[in-house]
Amino acid sequence: MSKEEFHNVLTGAVTGCHEDVEQILELYMPLIDKHSYVNGRLDEDLKQYLMIHIALQIGKFPI
């Protein structure tokens, strides 16, 4: 994803576009996965929680 594309997607996600939020989640999936490990095990519930949390909080990111 080019810098310009990223800028557009992030702006869309912050303003509430669902497809853009999905794209951001996809783009940052490795980071979400990294935070979803508890005691060396992938916690699927935690992963789900984090994804929902991002979707709800992304609107607060100051562009």
Partner 1 sequence: MNHQQESERDELRARFTGWLEVTLYRAKLNYLKKQERERNTLYVGMLPEELLVEENLEQKWVHRLTEQKGFDFEQEKLEKAFQYLTQQRQQILTLLFVEEKTPEEIAGQLGCSKQNVYKQRSQALAALRNMLEKGGEGNE
C-alpha count within 13 angstroms, C-beta hemisphere, residue 28: 18
Q: Does 4 bind partner 1 (CB under 8 A)?
A: yes
What length is written for the chain? 63
Q: Does 44 bind partner 1 (CB under 8 A)?
A: no
Q: Which amino acid is at 40?
A: G
Q: Does 21 bind partner 1 (CB under 8 A)?
A: no
Q: Does 29 bind partner 1 (CB under 8 A)?
A: no
Q: Does 6 bind partner 1 (CB under 8 A)?
A: yes
- CA–CA distance from 47 to each of 40, 56, 61 (Å)? 14, 14, 20
d(C-alpha 12, C-alpha 19), whole Å? 8
For the bound state, the minimum distance from the C-beta of residue 4 to partner 1, rounded and expressed in Å, comes to: 7
* Binding residues vs partner 1 (CB under 8 A): 3-4, 6-7, 10, 28, 31-32, 35, 38, 46, 49-50, 53-54, 57, 61, 63
